[in-house]
Every structure is written in C-alpha cells, then in structure tokens.
A and B are shown apart, each in its own frame.
Chain A
C-alpha cells in the first residue's frame, strides 16, 4: 500500500496538463469530426467503440450488463482497485484501510483533494451517502445490494475516514469496494431517485464525464480535466489521453465487425468466432480475457415442477456437449465450463460431473419416468418435457449457443423453446419467476458471487431449496483465513454441480476487436475495460 501525497504532485501536474490540453485542443481542431484520431502526439482524439446492447440505465450502481459497464466504469472511481493478474486489492480513492479480525468492520482512509465533476469534494460523508443509497435501489441494484447485504451502519469517523460495519463477517466486502457497482458518486446525484439516476446519470470523480446519453443509441463521455487521482495500476498520471469516447449501440454483430474492418469504428466488444478470421485479416488486434465469476449457465428455476426432480436437472447437465459449443461458436481461447465459477476467479476449483454423456442423460430421464413420445420429445403423465429458456441479446454468442443447446437437448428428448427478451427486462423476469431457465453469466472477481446468486437467504432468484449449500456459503463469507475459505468455496462448487441447481456451460471469454491505431486499451480485474491510459493515432 503506497500512501500518496497528492497535493505536492498536483500543482506541477496541473500546469503540465494545462499545457498538454492546450496542445491537444490545437491539434484536434485539425481532425475531421467523425473520424477517429488525430495528432501524432498520441493524445487527444475521439475513440468510437461499438457495443451490442444498452441496458437502459447509466447509473453505475444499477448497471449489470457488460456492454453498458464499459462506459459507466469510466465515470466513477472506486475506493480500491484490483490487480487483474494477482487479484490483489490496491488503494485508489482510499489510501489505506483496516479490517477488524472478524471481518465485520472496515475502516477506509480517503485520499485528499479528490473532487467530483460538479466541484464538490470527496469526504467520508459522501461515501456514507453512497452506501446508504444502495438499500433504496429497486430491482436493478441487485449487485450492489448483494455487496452490502447485512450492513449495520456506515459511520463518518472524521471528514476523511469512513467505517462500514456488518452484522456478520463479510470477507468479500473489500473486493466489492473495487467494483463499479460501489463506485462513488457525488452526494447530490446519489440522492436522486433510482429512475432519474438511470435516465440522467450521476456525477462522478472519474477520468471521464458523461456528456450525453441517448437510450439504445449512444453514450458519449468527455475527458475530466484536472483529474489527478487515478489508480496506481495505471501507467499515466493525471488526466486521460482521450478527449472523447463515444459508445455506439449496434445490435448486429455483423455490422460491428464490418464497421471495424472498414474503420468506421475504432473498437468493438463481443467478437464471436465467425468474425475472427476477417478481423485478423484486416489487421485488427484481438485481445481477450476470461471473465471471472459465474460462467454462462442455464439458470434453472428450481421451483418448476419438472425441474424439482434432481434426475431431470442432472440429465440436462450431462446432455450438453460443452466442447462442441466452444469449438463451433466461441472465440479462440474460450474454455468449456469445469465448474460454476470460471477459472480466473479466485479460489476456483474444478468440480467433476460436467462431462458430456448422452447415454447417461437418456437413462436418467428414463429412470425419472419420462418416456419418449411420438415426435421424440419425452412425455410423463400427459405433460411434455418442455422448457422455456429466456435469453437476451447482450452477447453475440447467445443465440447460436442456445440453438446448439436446443439441438443437443432435443437429441435426448427435451424440447427447448427459446424466448428472447430485452436486456432492460432482466431484473423483472428474474423476480417474476416465470422462466424455466434463464441464460446468462455474472462477472465478479470474488467467489462470494455464489452466495449472492444461490443462497436461499438472499434473493434466491433461482428458487433453490434450503439445504447444506446455504451454510457453506455463509461460512465462506465469514472465513478470514484464506486456506479455509478456499476449501469452503471448493465445497460450494461441488455441491452446486452435484445437485445441478444450475447448469454451467461455457466461460465468458471477453474478446474485443481493437483497431490498429488504438494503443493501451486494457482489461481490469473484472475483464471490463480501462480507458484512462488508452491512446489513439
């Protein structure tokens, strides 16, 4: 942990930045309005990034979809940051912190001199306001609420020291403070209603400021001048290089690919296997990193009468040929799921039971009393073995993957009906419980995501029955000892696979296409992007 003395460095840095900014303004005046970069100096310019969807909200506390996170992450800073290679937590807005031995109390010492883009200063009171706003969030604030689950109080110790106390030991909280969901916004903006925050955005202290949001079309960010409190992981001090970033929503992956090839955009998200060859031929850089957290899975609704039967769930689990899916659809380097957690998650261990075995699936279904009907779909007591799988088009790989799964499950007699919905309806569908299975993944660089998702003590969106898993999940959240935690997390992964509460299929390998002229577009620990160091031209 490196203590920072920002005031001594800021002044010359500000002068230097002012000079650089003046130079950039002069140079960028020469560039054309809709093209991407400009000067040879490497700073300034506009980056155009094409994403596939829009969550319909620009409040970092309420955004859960990667495409939208790419943009809102740049607007706020977090108390801490996380190293993508080691998982280690490093200081950011908090210079140092203390954690009580039982992991119930976290005290953060804030850095001096941080200001929001509306001029207000960062104080302990502001952090308290941010954390106090979380429980008031609606269904969209699921992630943030999970992180602050069981919070007793957030207290202001002194203007730059804030203390968060939990009722139970909460080992994951430190990592949670590094996520975008707990990014810090100004007091005034965080107190707005959740709907207004979604529609209008919030005021943050980040390296970029939200300048325009057109729902379903674009999110425009502008450089925050005077920015001087970046994460120590970043290579550049002070302000970001880029003047402007425009995230354009282009739902069609073929159009995104073609636009990157022809230079109409500078970078695209969610590259699929089909696009790789064409992009490489065009000289585009393909960068990829596996997302930590819960892999792409069929989140089964365990309350559904058909799915209450363990044998049926297990049959689905072994009827899926994961390697075929990876080889056919997913970009190079993607791994089939070997556990409910992806291999880049801290404390991941492989949980056997996910091997493809079509014969076993059929015998399990036979044993469960489902007999093949005339059209190949199994029937029991007059009911067909039919599952409604809800999905969203927020990743280019979703549709072909689900069609392939449909094919594979049909081969053992299960009829899958695909129901596409808008990503903005995600929370509503999860809560309503009208789905048989929900396709999705959840990125989190900490195994506590299992507790948020699958403990019956939380939202329990997948309607798991009460069982030994709950206890294991609660104990891993309280475990202060790393080795003990790893063991408990391994147990949890094992239990989930054995019971097939959800069916993990494939890891999310985020693959971005980045144009030749773009440098240093980096991943953070959650496989989202960090654009402060990015240069164009």
Chain B
C-alpha cells in the first residue's frame, strides 16, 4: 500500500514538472518576450535602457539558464508579474480561484446529482421507452457546445422569463445558470459511465444470488449494484476535473463572471505570457491533485486495485 502511495506521489510531481517545462517551451516559441510587451507603450526608454531591462530580467541569458532560473523561482511560488494586470501571476490566479472553485464545485455537484439519477433511473426502470429516452439524453448533451447551451439558457431563463441574472457574480441567483450550463456536459459524462457500469454490474453472478435469497429489486439496485458500479464513476470525476476547468473559461466569458476562466481568456487576448504559463501549470496542478486524491481513495474502496497494480504495469 505504501509503495502504491509513494509511486503515485512521485508520478504526480513528475507530471507537474513536465507540465511546467512544456508550457515554458511553448511560450518560448513566441517571437517577442515579456520585456517587449512591458515596454511597448513607453517612448521614454531608448534601446540601451531596454537592453538593460532585458539583462536585469535575465532574458538575454542562454535558454537553459533562463529555464533553470524560472523553474527555481516557480518552485518558490513566484511565477513573475502578469503583463496585463500589473500584479504578480500568483496573486492574480489566487484571487480568481475561489470564484471558479465555487462555480465548478456547484456544477460538479449538480452534474453528479443529475447524471447519477438519470443512470439509476434508466437502469432500474422496466419501461423500455423510458430507458431509451433517458439513455439518448447524454449523447445529445455532449454534442452541444457548452457556450451555446449557456447562451440558450440566458436567452430563455434570463431575458425571456427574467428569473435569473445574465451576468455577474452576485449571489446565489447569479450562480444558477452558469452552474447548470456546466452541469450538463458533466452530468452527461457521469450518466454514460455510470449507466454502462450499472448494466455490467447487473449481469454479475452476485446479483442473481441476492435475488435468489429474496432481496427486493430496489434494495439490490441501490445497495449492491450502485456501490460496485460507482467506482468507475469516481475515476471519471478525476478526468472531469480537466473538462470542468476548460469549460469554465467559456462559461465565465459568457456570463461575465470573475474567475480563473475569464483571467485565462484575457491573458490569451493580451498575449500575457507569464500569466498564460501560470494558468497552464495551475490547470495541470489541479488536474494532478484531483486525480491523485481519486487514486488514493480508490484502494480504500476497492483493495484489489493495489494488488493488481503492484503485480506489474498494465498495457497503456
């Protein structure tokens, strides 16, 4: 068990470091650099002063030196200053994070609720038409672009009905439409995985045994089948973390909400390199963290995972 934990931790750290390196490489492709972005509007500086600035920030050092220097600072939490907001990258991201966490957390909760209920109902019901109907909803939901869904929600529930605000971070009512927009693709994914694994679990031998022993259908469904089938759904939650973050960029833009997503969108438009790099590493970090937590919880729920993984690496 301990080896499992240590291996997962080591993997997580390795991935984080690699993500940082990857983003560094991508942004190095850019023709300009942070100094030209900073001094662009300033007529007072002449070329000598700009070169001096470049030297001071280390942009004229050879690439490997720059990389190590940046990495060193990043490890201490210093990702530099954002060119577009004038504050440090860590401060900008830190300020934006709580709002996004609130949004994605609510979206995830709603999605799990909706997706889970749909899967449970679809697998429990004996009505064929109901099952077909319910199972056709998730594929429909994942085919819809998130931003379009959000706009349709705004059109119908905000402009026409006037029930919810169309933009901003004000309070609970302002959270409803964005969270619902986020919950739709999330719930669809969960519904798909959960319903598939419920179907598979329902075919297992122990279900027949339980029935033979006289247990009621509902009891079996909820206590035995669901418990066993929810483990794969847990894995998916880990994968969903990435999708939720990505969708928050679009949702926050559509609803003009403060948060990580909107910061990202403005950073890209302003070509703010340090901030974009910070966002990429941050996104990877969150993804890695969530998956690490999921990986660590898994063995607690299913001890066979540890045994299986220590018996040798599976292909892919």
Among A263, A264, A428, A431, find the residue whose CB has the most chain B CB atoms closer than 10 A.
A264
Q: Is B46 an interface residue (CB 8 A)?
A: no
23 chain-A/chain-B pairs, Cβ below 8 angstroms: A33-B171, A138-B41, A138-B43, A139-B41, A199-B86, A215-B84, A216-B266, A248-B256, A250-B167, A251-B256, A258-B158, A259-B166, A262-B158, A264-B165, A264-B167, A264-B168, A422-B269, A424-B84, A425-B41, A428-B40, A428-B41, A431-B41, A432-B40
Q: Is A19 an interface residue (CB 8 A)?
A: no
Known: A258-B159, A264-B166. 8 other contacts (CB 8 A): A34-B171, A138-B41, A139-B41, A214-B258, A217-B258, A249-B256, A251-B256, A425-B41
Are the CB atoms of A252 and B256 closer together than 8 Å?
Answer: yes
**Nearest A residue to B43, CB-CB:** A139
Contact string, B264-275, partner A, CB cutoff 8 A, digits 1/0?
001001100000
Are the CB atoms of B166 and A262 closer together than 8 Å?
Answer: yes
Q: Is B162 an interface residue (CB 8 A)?
A: yes
CA–CA, A34 to B168, complex, Å?
A: 11
**Nearest B residue to A264, CB-CB:** B165
The residues of A that contact B165 with a CB separation of less than 8 Å are 259, 262, 264
Which one of B42, B84, B85 contacts A139 once the chains associate, using CB atoms below 8 Å?
B42
Hey, which bits of chain B sit against chain A, CB under 8 A? Answer: 40-44, 84-86, 154, 158-159, 162, 165-168, 170-171, 256, 258, 262, 266, 269-270
Q: How far is the CB of B182 from chain A (nearest CB, A)?
A: 18
Hey, which bits of chain A sit against chain B, CB under 8 A? Answer: 33-34, 56, 138-140, 195, 198-199, 214-217, 248-252, 255, 258-259, 261-264, 422, 424-425, 427-428, 431-432
CA–CA, A262 to B165, complex, Å?
A: 8
Give the dominant DSSP class at B's interface. Answer: loop
CA–CA, A20 to B143, complex, Å?
A: 58
Among B158, B166, B170, B270, find the residue whose CB has the most chain A CB atoms closer than 10 A.
B166
Q: How far is the CB of A260 from chain B (nearest CB, A)?
A: 10
Q: How far is the CB of B205 from chain A (nearest CB, A)?
A: 56
Q: How far is the CB of B270 from chain A (nearest CB, A)?
A: 6
**Nearest A residue to B263, CB-CB:** A216
The residues of A that contact B167 with a CB separation of less than 8 Å are 248, 250, 255, 259, 264
Q: How far is the CB of A436 from chain B (nearest CB, A)?
A: 19
The residues of A that contact B170 with a CB separation of less than 8 Å are 34
Which one of B44, B159, B171 contacts A261 once the chains associate, using CB atoms below 8 Å?
B159
**Nearest B residue to A216, CB-CB:** B266
Are the CB atoms of B258 and A427 closer together than 8 Å?
Answer: no
The residues of B that contact A261 with a CB separation of less than 8 Å are 159
The residues of B that contact A248 with a CB separation of less than 8 Å are 167-168, 256
CA–CA, A282 to B36, complex, Å?
A: 49
| Leading 3 A-B pairs by shortest Cβ distance | A428-B41, A258-B159, A139-B41
Are the CB atoms of A56 and B256 closer together than 8 Å?
Answer: no
The residues of B that contact A259 with a CB separation of less than 8 Å are 165-167
The residues of A that contact B159 with a CB separation of less than 8 Å are 258, 261-262
Q: How far is the CB of A419 from chain B (nearest CB, A)?
A: 13
Are the CB atoms of A258 and B166 closer together than 8 Å?
Answer: yes
Among A33, A215, A248, find the residue whose CB has the most chain B CB atoms closer than 10 A.
A215
Q: How far is the CB of A280 from chain B (nearest CB, A)?
A: 16
Are the CB atoms of A255 and B256 closer together than 8 Å?
Answer: yes
The residues of A that contact B166 with a CB separation of less than 8 Å are 255, 258-259, 262, 264
Are the CB atoms of B256 and A215 closer together than 8 Å?
Answer: no
**Nearest A residue to B44, CB-CB:** A138
On whether A195 and B86 interact (CB within 8 A), knowing A250-B167, A259-B165, the answer reads yes
The residues of A that contact B171 with a CB separation of less than 8 Å are 33-34
Are the CB atoms of B43 and A215 closer together than 8 Å?
Answer: no
CA–CA, A140 to B44, complex, Å?
A: 12
Q: How far is the CB of A58 from chain B (nearest CB, A)?
A: 12
The residues of B that contact A264 with a CB separation of less than 8 Å are 165-168
CA–CA, A214 to B270, complex, Å?
A: 16
Q: How far is the CB of A284 from chain B (nearest CB, A)?
A: 14
Which one of B84, B154, B168 contacts A56 once the chains associate, using CB atoms below 8 Å?
B84
**Nearest A residue to B256, CB-CB:** A250
